[in-house]
Structure 1
C-alpha cells in the first residue's frame, strides 16, 4: 500500500513517537506534521517504482509496543505485510528487515541471516480499516501483557482455595454437589481464555474488563452445558464435554493458524514476541490433557464391553494424531511437546492393555519421544532456510555445536519456574490433594478419587498418562512448571467431578466417619 497514505494516520495518532511527555501535545503534533511533510517530500522525489521500506525500531519508556512496518510497491499495495518467520500475514520481526532490504536490492541473502523477506498478506480493506486493525492488535497485546500476572495469580488462588475447601467439605461429607460444579467451572476456565477471542473485546472501552468478563461468562456457560444435558448422569459425561471442547478448540486453532492462541492470557502475544504461531507450552499441556482424558472416556465404554484392543486404539490413535499435529513444523511446531506427549500416550495405552509400566519402559518411551521429534525436525531442516521453523534450525545448531548453549538456556529458564509463586502453588496443592486423597480417602476426599477409578479404570490410566506428560513436559520445556500446573489445573478437577457423580451412584463406599479407612475385605465394583 502507499506509504504516504498510511503513514499520516499513524503520525496523527501518535503511534510512531513517545515524545508527548517531553514536548507537550502541541509541539509534538507540529513535530509529527513536519516529519510527515519531510517523508512526503522524499517520496515525491523518488521514481514511482522505487521500493521504499519504513520500519519502527525504537521503543519509549518501559512499555513495548508493536511498531510500524511498511513498504511501497505495486505488489503490496492494499495488503498487510507478514513474513514466513511469524507465519502471519500482518506481523514481521526485526531480523526480517535485513533480508527484505537485501532481496529488494537484488543481493542474495546469506544463510547466516536469520530473517526472511516481507511478503504481502491479506487485503487491508482500506487505510482506516488497516489502522484500526493494527491499533487493535497492539491494544490486545498490551492488555494481555498487563493482565497476565494478575490472571495467573488469580488462577493459583482459585485452584488452591478449591482444594482446601474441597478437603474441608468432603471430610465432613458435605457440599459434593457444589464441589462438582466448581470443579467443572475451573476446568472450563482454560479453554475460555481462547474462546473469548471470538468476541471483539479488544475494541471495548475497557478491554481488560471485557476480556476477564468474557472469560468468566464463557467458563460458566460451558460448565452449565456440561451439567445440563442427559450426559450429566454419567460420571464421565461432563468430563467428556469439557475435555472435548478443549481438545476441539485447540485442534481447530492449530489447523487455522492459531488465531485464538495469539493475544490470549494462556497463549502468547506479538508484543512480547516469545512465539508468534503454533502450540505454546501452556496450550500443549491443555491439549495433551484434554485429548488423553477424552480418549479414555471413550475407552471406558469400550472396556465395559470387553473390547480392550479397541480401547487401547481409542487412546493411541487420537493421541498420536494430536501429537503429530502439535509437533508438525508450521502447524504446532512444539519441540518439547512431542517428547512429553509420546510417553503419556504410551503409558495410558499400556495401562489400558493391562500391562505394567516399569522405569525402563518409561525411559524408553521418553527416548522414543526424543527420536520422534528429531525425525520431524530433520525433515524440517531439509527445507530451504527461509522456510524452516525453529525445529529445523535446532538440527542446524546440533550440527554446528550451538545446541548445547540453547539447551542450557532452556534448562535455566525451566529451573527458574520452579520458584514461581503463580505456578508452584497449583502443583503443590493438586499433588497434595491427589496423593492424600488416594492414601487416606476417608479423611481427604470421602472416597471420591477411589470412586472415580473404581467406576472407570480407564480414567485412572488417562490421568496417569496425563501426569507423565505433564512431568516430562515440565522437564523438557523452558516454561517448566507451567506445563505440569496447567495439566493438573485441567485434569484433576475433571477427575474429581467424575468421582463425585460416581460416588453418588455407589461406585465406591462412602466412609461413615472422617479418617476411617476401608476394610481389607471390602471390594469395589468395577462395573460401569
Structure 2
C-alpha cells in the first residue's frame, strides 16, 4: 500500500465504527424480523384486508442483507440508518411492480451475486458491513462470515428457485460454483458453510430420494465423502486459512478434532440460549412450516411449485445450525430468504383472490 500508516488508521476507524453500530442496529433488525413475522400471522388469523404495507415491509426486510452489503461502502457513516431505510424502500417499491415470484427471484439472485463477487474481490464490503463480521470482537477477519454465509445459501436458492424446476443441471453448475466460493481458503474460507451448502443444494436438486431410496444411499454417501475430501485437500494446500491449520493440527494430534468440536458446540449452544438470532430463527422456522403446510395448495396453484427451494433452504439452515460454531446466525439468515418470500407469495395470492371476488 502506498500509505500503510494512513491505511491502517483508516481501517481502525472503520472497524471501530462497525463495532459501535453493529450491536444496536442488528438487534433492531432482528426485532423487526420477529415483529414482522408476528404481524404476518396476525394478518391471517384476523383476516386483514389491506396487506400492501405488510408486503412492502417484507420486501424491505428481504432486501436488507443486500442493502447492508452495499452500505459497507460507507462504514460508520451517520447516514447509514437513513441510507439503509431509503435503499430498502427504493428496492421494495421497484420490486412490488413485478410479479411476486419474479420480484423475489430477482432479489435473491442479485443478493447472491453481490456476495459472491465481493468475496472474490477480497470481501471488501463485507468487512465493512454491520451485517458482516466484526473484526474488533474477533469472530472472523476474512472470507465469508456466518451472517452472509446464511444469506448466500438462502438467496442463491431463492434466485434459482425457478431454474431448480426447469433445468437442474444448469442450477447444479451454479450451485457448485457457490460451494467452491465458500470453501476456497482465499475466498470464502468457510468450511462449515461449504458443508451446509453441499447438504442444502443436494436436497434442493435431488429431493429426499437419497434418504428414502436405498439404491441412492451408498452413491450419495460416497459422493458426499469425496466432496468433503476435496474440501479438506483444498484447504491443506497453499496459503492455509484457519480451516487448513485445523486439519494440519488434527493430522498431528487427532484429539484436536474433538476439542474443536466440543468448543464449537459450546459456542453454538451459548448463542442459541442467549442470542436474539435464536428467536428470529424460531419465528422464521415456525412460520415457514405453518405457511407451507397450511397454504401450499393455494400458493402452488398461483405461483407454481417452489418445493425444491423450500426443502433446500430448510436443509441448508439445519445443516448450518449443526456445522458451525455460530450456526444459529447462519440458519436464521438462510431462513430469511425462505420464510419471508413464502409470506409474500401468500399475501399476494390472498390479494389476488380478493380482487377476483370483487370483480
- Is 1:493 the counterpart of 2:340? The answer is yes
Work out whether residues 340 and 369 of structure 1, in 8 Å CA contact, stay in contact via their aligned partners in 2.
no
SS in 1 for 2:161: helix
Deviations 1:77-110, CA, capped at 9 Å, x for gaps: xxxxxxxxxxxxxxxxxxxxxxxxxxxxxxxxxx
Residue 123 (structure 1) aligned with residue 20 (structure 2): no
**Which residue number corresponds to residue 269 of structure 1?**
134
Q: 1:14-25 maps to which residues of 2 (within 5 A)?
A: none
Match of 1:340?
196
Deviation, structure 1 residue 423: 0.9
1:462 aligns with 2:309: yes
CA contact (8 A) 1:195 1:260 kept: yes
Residues 1:217 and 2:86 aligned together: yes
Pairwise mapping of residues 200-349 of structure 1 onto structure 2 (< 5 A)? 200-202=74-76, 207=77, 209-228=78-97, 232=98, 234-300=99-165, 302=166, 311-349=167-205
Residues 197 and 373 (structure 1 numbering): CA distance in 2 closer, same or farther, change over 3 Å?
A: same
Contact 1:291 1:318 in 2 (8 A): no
How far did 1:154 drift?
1.0
- Measured on the aligned residues, the alpha-carbon RMSD in Å equals 2.8
Unaligned runs of 5+ in 1: 1-121, 303-310, 442-446, 511-528
User: If each structure's helix is expressed as a fraction of its own residues, which one has the higher value?
Assistant: 2
Cα distance in 1, alignment partners of residues 10 and 82 from structure 2: 18
Supply the distance in 2 between the matched residues of 1:359 and 1:222 (Cα, whole angstroms). 43
TM (normalized to structure 1)? 0.61
Match of 1:414 in 2: 268
Q: Cα offset for 1:315?
A: 2.7
Look up the match of 2:227: 372
**What's the TM-score, normalizing by structure 2?**
0.88
Q: How big is each residue's C-alpha offset from its partner over 1:180-226, in whole Å with a ceiling of 9 and x where there is no partner?
A: 2111111001121110023x354xxxx3x322222222222222222
Count residues with an aligned counterpart: 352
Q: In structure 2, do the counterparts of structure 1 residues 358 and 489 end up closer, same or farther at CA, with 3 Å as the change threshold?
A: same
From 309, 322, 331, the equivalent of 1:475 is 322
Does the aligned pair in 2 maintain the 1:279–1:333 contact within 8 Å?
yes
Shift of residue 478 of structure 1? 0.6
Give the conservation status (yes or no) of the 8 Å contact 2:58–2:344: yes
Q: Does 1:170 align with 2:44?
A: yes
* d(CA) in 2 for partners of 1:262, 1:363: 41
> Which structure has the larger Rg?
1
Query: Unpaired runs of 5+ in structure 2?
Result: none
Q: 1:173 to 1:336 in 2, by over 3 A?
A: same
